[in-house]
Amino acid sequence: MLKGKFVVIGVTGGIAAHRALDLTSTLVKAGAEVHVIMTRGAREFVGPLAFEALSGNRVHVDTFSAPPGWRYPHLELARRADIALVVPATANIMAKMAYGMADDLLTTSILAMTCPIVVCPAMNVYMYRNDIVQENIKRLRKLGFILMEPGVGRQACGDEGPGRLAAVEDIVNMIKKVLMPECDLAGSRVLVTAGGTREPIDPVRYISNRSSGKMGYALAEAAVNRGAVVHLVTAPTCLEPPDGAKIYYVNTAIEMFREVMNLYREVDVVVKAAAVSDYRPKTVSDQKIKKSDSGLVLELEKNTDILYELGKQKTHQILVGFAAETEDLIKNARQKLAKKNLDFLVANDVTQPGAGFGTDTNIAKLIFPGGRIESLPMMDKLELADRIWDEVVKLRHGKTK
């Protein structure tokens, strides 16, 4: 599967640098062409000669030192790479990558790359848990880097916990997943919304709903795996964003409307899985509303119906909506499908066990114009996401014939 793939491995200055030797050997045996970039810190742990012996290629260590026939190493590596990895990724290199620093060959090459970049953190458990490191990891994910989860266990320093380099086998599997997905969405630009919006009452209270965001995040992850360029507009959740998606964080329905409409013209497919508040408080208090003996009356005003507006302005896009109902599922879903000019709708009865908010599973019916209904059994949300994308792919192929 990896035969002929041009793989760039950036090795940085951590104790796990020696494990990049095993990774290099494994990739070469699988038929990949491996080129290694070593930082100055990495060379304190492992010599370049070891990587050269395993890869069969000269190790790159200097921005201004080019192999024969190469004019600019950082540009040549960036142009030829099918995938790049940072193994191990120290806290230092991740901070540089998160903020676009380019002070050596590795960081300069990364800035010039358009290929997928897999980042494999490895460091002391307390460094890994540091708030600054975690913020940089979130930033890298938001920028589209693919972050491997570190291993958990005893570390070289004697501490225990997350921070060990991921197993070589897991890294290789991630490479295969990135390079060899079911790419039937390749070339598609998709927009997914997720989570439940929050409408503020005062600085400490808000109106929201029970949406966990799991369905929307599963849709985004599945689309990335199938080769799409994914824009995920998400209300607050407790979930880690899927690697490879571009993330846009919002809180209120108004913020989500603005973000979605800014992206709408650029995308081919919209799957509107977010639970958007229909109403918001007409007046928001600047200060916390104090409890009193009398009741509290909130006057609400209607939010813009984002899905309706998308349907009105639809040109080339495929538009998919969700309907979470508690009664008259089919009737309500068909009305929503027609009113909002959808290509199809995913409907579920949230009173059913296994189909409600916050679960890892769902029980859905796909409702199509013309009356067709496809009832699906209970399944994992990622599996349902793929089933939804299967229908999108059919529609995409129909429009391009």
> Which CATH number applies to 6-179?
3.40.50.1950
Which of 24-28, 44-48, 157-161, 216-220 is least confident? 157-161
Active site residues: 157
**Residue 181 confidence (pLDDT) above 70:** no
Tell me the pLDDT of the chain averaged across its residues: 92
Q: Is 360 helix (H, G, I), strand (E, B) or coil?
A: coil
**Residue linked to tokens 């104090």:** 290
Q: Please tell me the predicted confidence (pLDDT) of residue 174.
A: 87
Q: How far apart are CA 25 and CA 55, in angstroms?
A: 7
Exposed, middle or buried, 65 (CB in 10 Å: 0-12/13-18/19+)? exposed
DSSP 8-state class, residue 322: E
Q: What's domain 189-400's architecture?
A: 3-Layer(aba) Sandwich (3.40)
Q: Indicate if 189-400 has the same CATH topology as 6-179.
A: yes
Q: Are the beta carbons of 306 and 276 closer than 8 angstroms?
A: yes
DSSP run (H or E) holding 346: strand 344-349
- Contact of 60 with 36, CB cutoff 8 Å: yes
Quote the CA–CA distance of 130 and 91 in Å, as a whole number.
Answer: 10
Q: Mind listing the pLDDT tens digit for each residue in 292-337?
A: 888 889 999 999 999 999 999 999 999 999 999 999 999 999 999 9
363 vs 156 pLDDT, higher one: 363
DSSP state letter for 241? P
pLDDT of residue 69: 66
Q: State the number of CA atoms in the 13 A half-sphere of 382 facing the CB.
A: 6
Q: Give me the residue spans of the domains in the chain.
A: 6-179, 189-400
- Is residue 1's pLDDT more than 70? no
pLDDT attached to residue 233: 98
150, burial (CB in 10 Å: exposed 0-12, middle 13-18, buried 19+): buried
Q: What is the pLDDT of residue 379?
A: 86
Statement: residue 180 has pLDDT above 90: no
Task: Say what the pLDDT of residue 154 is.
Answer: 81
Please check whether residue 273 is in contact with residue 216, taking contact to mean a CB–CB distance below 8 angstroms.
yes
Does a cis peptide bond (omega within 30 degrees of 0) precede residue 377? no
CA distances from 212 to 84, 236, 247, 347 (A): 33, 9, 16, 17
pTM: 0.61
Is the pLDDT confidence value at 400 over 60? no
Q: Both tokens of residue 257?
A: 């409307």
Joined together, the tokens standing for residue 277 give: 């508040």
Model pLDDT, residue 401: 44
pLDDT of 231 > 90? The answer is yes
